[in-house]
A and B are shown apart, each in its own frame.
Chain A
Amino acid sequence: NAGVTQTPKFQVLKTGQSMTLQCAQDMNHEYMSWYRQDPGMGLRLIHYSVGAGITDQGEVPNGYNVSRSTTEDFPLRLLSAAPSQTSVYFCASSPHGRYGYTFGSGTRLTVV
């Protein structure tokens, strides 16, 4: 099993550019989520999904969009990147959101 796969691992964007961070899991987990990790702030929830077709906002959703068209995939879209979105992004999945989580390896994003 590959677990949770995130791509790309590194990305540099210019302010105003758009991009999609990809997240895929092959464990048939219902729950998927996106987090950002910033120095001194810890990890914070951006968006989450409890199943295909269902998404909801977390603690820091502004500037990010998500969709969940399949159980396997949960992409995170930055529509117009800003320097404040420079961070490390992690995707995670869980069978039901209240059980153990599997994390992707992270995407280090720099917005200049």
Chain B
Amino acid sequence: KNEVEQSPQNLTAQEGEFITINCSYSVGISALHWLQQHPGGGIVSLFMLSSGKKKHGRLIATINIQEKHSSLHITASHPRDSAVYICAGGGADGLTFGKGTHLIIQP
């Protein structure tokens, strides 16, 4: 069974801080997804990684295949980044999700 572990569960930071969310996954996962869920409940796909690093605006996602570990970084964090960030492993039969990181950025 595929497994995905995410940390921290909750994170509160001040505006402008550099944010890191970590994700570890098991053998059998071939791609790693980072998702964002806002308080309204909608889920948006941020990144899909199978190797290396991707960047979109202030968001950066990295993956280390040998260590089966991925990180999501937010630079110059802003209150509008407050959301739940979810790591998910993609395998042959769909996604296996971490339990999410509830991020609050205070002004």
Contacts and interface: CB of A to CB of B under 8 A. Distances in A.
Interface of A: 31, 33, 35, 40-45, 48, 56, 58-59, 88, 90, 92, 97-103, 105-106, 108
Contacts, number: 59
25 contacts: A33-B94, A33-B95, A35-B95, A35-B97, A40-B99, A41-B99, A42-B100, A43-B95, A44-B97, A45-B93, A45-B95, A45-B96, A58-B93, A58-B94, A97-B90, A97-B94, A100-B48, A101-B35, A101-B45, A101-B95, A103-B35, A105-B41, A106-B41, A106-B42, A108-B41
Contacts of B44: 103
B86 interface: yes
A46 B31 CA distance: 20
A88 B33 contact: no
A98 B95 contact: no
Given A99-B31, A101-B48, 12 more contacts: A31-B94, A33-B95, A35-B97, A42-B98, A42-B100, A43-B86, A43-B88, A43-B95, A44-B97, A59-B96, A103-B43, A103-B44
Interface residues of B, number: 22
B51 interface: no
B12 interface: no
A108 B40 CA distance: 12
Interface in B87-107: 88, 90, 92-100
A92 B42 CA distance: 11
